[in-house]
């Protein structure tokens, strides 16, 4: 459940330099290897980015929403197609940044995560363990899918939440997937994600991304709304048990703070406790 704090506003400055408080609750996100089976409901493994295109009918674009009960005319509402380009990733000390060059907005540079908790993070040197990332936010695209691919053939990790959770997503709903070297990943429209997470030894790196051209983005701040960070391991070492159980095991809260009570919205739009 959200803490009752106001929704974070993801302006250009806030996205690049968010004020992250000390003492945030840590939520461990289960990590499994990404396969078409484990990614069911989230997306798919990419073996070739040209397997996922609008022309082939394999890249999902969501039709424009209508204002009333009348339906869109056939063949309209999804004609904007996709945009594509480079997505640059870089570790700077404990801070992990991404820049999406495929979209037109100037709000395209993000602090995606940290290598340690905010109060210990350094801009000049890495102080964390080097095999995990702490995520303060996630987002989804209501207008279309997105894929990531790199010719560099390096492994990476993504942290996803199913579109079925909608805007009532919580940190405990998130799942992490390890994508082997030489593979890419595709997200269904509405899937909670952010970018992809690489190890410092592979930084900097340039990925290819393709996504809906409208580029609607809806975001959540785990830090402000839930007083939490999602901790994601970046290697499969010591997570064999989670791998065999699959992606739907419960998240583990590693602090002594009682995890927030989930709230879901009732049919009339108000929140109710579970």
Peptide bond between residue 204 and the one before it cis (omega within 30 degrees of 0)? yes
Given this model, what pLDDT does residue 85 score? 98
**Number of residues in the chain:** 274
Tens of pLDDT along 38-79?
A: 999 999 999 999 999 999 999 999 999 999 999 999 989 999
Tell me the β-bridge partners of 207.
87
Predicted TM-score (pTM) of the model is 0.85
Query: Could you count the other beta carbons within 10 Å of the beta carbon of residue 263?
Result: 15
Tens of pLDDT along 130-142?
A: 999 999 999 999 9
């Amino acid at each position: 459940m959200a803490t009752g704090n106001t929704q974070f506003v993801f302006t250009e400055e806030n996205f690049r330099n968010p004020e992250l408080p000390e003492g945030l609750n840590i939520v461990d996100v289960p990590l499994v290897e990404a396969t078409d089976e484990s990614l069911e409901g989230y997306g798919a493994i990419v073996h070739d980015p040209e397997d996922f295109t609008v022309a082939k009918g394999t890249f999902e674009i969501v039709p424009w929403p209508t204002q009333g009960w009348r339906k869109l005319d056939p063949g309209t509402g999804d004609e904007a197609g996709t945009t594509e380009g480079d997505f640059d990733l870089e570790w700077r000390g404990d801070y992990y940044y991404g820049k999406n060059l495929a979209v037109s907005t100037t709000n395209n540079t993000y602090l995606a995560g940290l290598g340690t908790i905010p109060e210990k993070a350094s801009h000049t040197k890495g102080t964390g363990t080097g095999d995990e990332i702490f995520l303060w936010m996630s987002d989804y695209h209501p207008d279309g899918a997105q894929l990531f691919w790199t010719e560099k053939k390096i492994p990476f990790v993504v942290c996803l939440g199913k579109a079925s959770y909608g805007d009532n997503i919580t940190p405990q709903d998130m799942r992490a997937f390890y994508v082997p070297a030489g593979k890419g990943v595709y997200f269904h429209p509405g899937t909670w994600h952010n970018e992809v997470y690489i190890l410092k030894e592979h930084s900097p790196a340039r990925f290819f991304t393709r996504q809906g051209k409208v580029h609607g983005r809806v975001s959540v701040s785990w830090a402000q709304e839930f007083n939490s960070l999602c901790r994601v391991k970046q290697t499969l070492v010591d997570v064999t048990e989670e791998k065999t159980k699959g992606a739907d095991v419960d998240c583990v809260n590693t602090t002594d703070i009682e995890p927030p009570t989930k709230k879901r919205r009732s049919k009339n739009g108000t929140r109710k406790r579970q």
